[in-house]
């Protein structure tokens, strides 16, 4: 089955610095790549997504890049703030459906 690897598992940055989280996937048919932010005890919240026909997408401080050849995609957060502290998950959907496979998660801590 599909496998999504995510690195790093934990990331600590100073407020104002940038944070980068990387994921790789195995299924070349994957065509949709969302990123979720999850706070403790809460539901995952979609923060940005990208489709396979696009290489990069940006929304204010958040950007996602996709390299289909290498089968990896990355989340970039600039000017990090303490409220960015949470667990971030990448995911993808494979084939013609919309079943999500999640990465293992990254605990981001933004320190003052």
Partner 1 sequence: GAVVSQHPSWVICKSGTSVKIECRSLDFQATTMFWYRQFPKQSLMLMATSNEGSKATYEQGVEKDKFLINHASLTLSTLTVTSAHPEDSSFYICSAPQGGSSSNEQFFGPGTRLTVL
C-alpha–C-alpha distance, residues 92 and 42, integer Å: 21
Cβ distance to partner 1 smaller for residue 45 or 81: 45
Give me the count of residues in the chain: 112
- CA angle at 93 for the pair 43 and 68, rounded to the nearest 5°: 120
62 within 8 A of 70, measured Cβ to Cβ:
no
**Min separation Cβ 82 and partner 1, Å:** 21
CA distances from 112 to 12, 61, 66, 109 (A): 11, 18, 30, 10
| Nearest distance, CB of residue 16 and partner 1, angstroms | 27
- Shortest CB 43 distance to partner 1, Å: 4
Q: Which is nearer to partner 1, 10 or 18 (CB)?
A: 10
Contacts with partner 1 by CB under 8 A lie at 1, 31-32, 34, 41-46, 49, 51, 89, 93, 97-105
Say which DSSP state 37 is in: E
Question: Which of 82, 95 has the CB closer to partner 1?
Answer: 95
Nearer to partner 1, 52 or 78 (CB): 52
């Amino acid at each position: 089955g599909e496998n999504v690897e995510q690195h790093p598992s934990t990331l600590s940055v100073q407020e104002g610095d940038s944070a980068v989280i990387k994921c790789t996937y195995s299924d070349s048919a994957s065509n949709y790549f969302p990123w979720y932010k999850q706070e403790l005890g809460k539901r995952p919240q979609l923060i940005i997504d990208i489709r396979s026909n696009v290489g990069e997408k940006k929304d204010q401080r958040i950007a996602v890049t996709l390299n289909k050849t290498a089968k990896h995609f990355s989340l970039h957060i600039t000017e990090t703030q303490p409220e960015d502290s949470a667990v971030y998950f990448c995911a993808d959907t494979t084939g013609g459906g919309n079943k999500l496979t999640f990465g293992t998660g990254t605990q981001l801590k933004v320190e003052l």
